[in-house]
Amino acid sequence: MKSASEELLIKTALSLGAHMAALVRVADVRFDPAFRAACEANRCGNYGKSWTCPPDVGDIHALVAKASSFDSALVFQSVTTMKSSFDYRAVMDLGQKHNELTARLALELAPLAPLALGAGKCSFCKRCAKLDEEKCRFPDKAVRSMEAHGIDVYALSKQAGLKYNNGEKTMTLFGCLLLPRVDGAVNSVPSRSSRL
């Protein structure tokens, strides 16, 4: 990558399939360890079933500290239209596509050493090695969830200027790549969102 400017980072996310994207300062991101409670309630059914989900993803305070150490967050979203509010297949398909987008974006921006955070459990492998009591097969490609890191996704969407809800019969998922300071231009420009 020739430049680490805000526009290039946003265009990269959009070119790989993000609906919208924006760059924000990590110092402004709201972290709250209480968001881990949603994971612990096992609403998604993945608690303890994936290396990238709690409790195996790590101590919430250590994860918040690690995430907070980055400089910028490239926030992006995936949106799909559903036949009804109960269109389970559309929700599952979007989750898979969104985390694939997160992994592709992390690979594209690998020279910047990002921390890739997606929505829900990692979907890189069809079956997590955790279920077979084995180590993660692809730790460098695994995608962890923003909530497991204590990120307030709703507040982050507002901070990035991205719609949290894109209308009736739609599903919106968020991801972010946390980036170290890459050049003086990244944080000198106010957060803006962009769309193709």
Mean local confidence (pLDDT), 39-45: 83
d(CA 173, CA 112): 24
Q: What is the DSSP letter of 127?
A: S
pTM, full prediction: 0.84
13 — phi, psi (to 5°)?
Answer: -60, -45
Q: Can you tell me whether residue 96 is helix, strand or coil?
A: helix
- Write out the two tokens for 29: 């991101």
Per residue in 165-193, pLDDT (tens digit) is 888 888 899 999 999 975 544 433 333 34
Per residue in 98-144, pLDDT (tens digit) is 888 998 998 898 888 889 998 888 888 889 999 999 999 988 788 88
d(CA 109, CA 102): 11
Sign of the Cα torsion 38, 43, 47, 53 reads negative
* Confidence at residue 190, expressed as pLDDT on a 0 to 100 scale: 32
Asked if the bond preceding 114 is cis, omega within 30° of 0, the reply is: no
Average pLDDT for the chain? 84
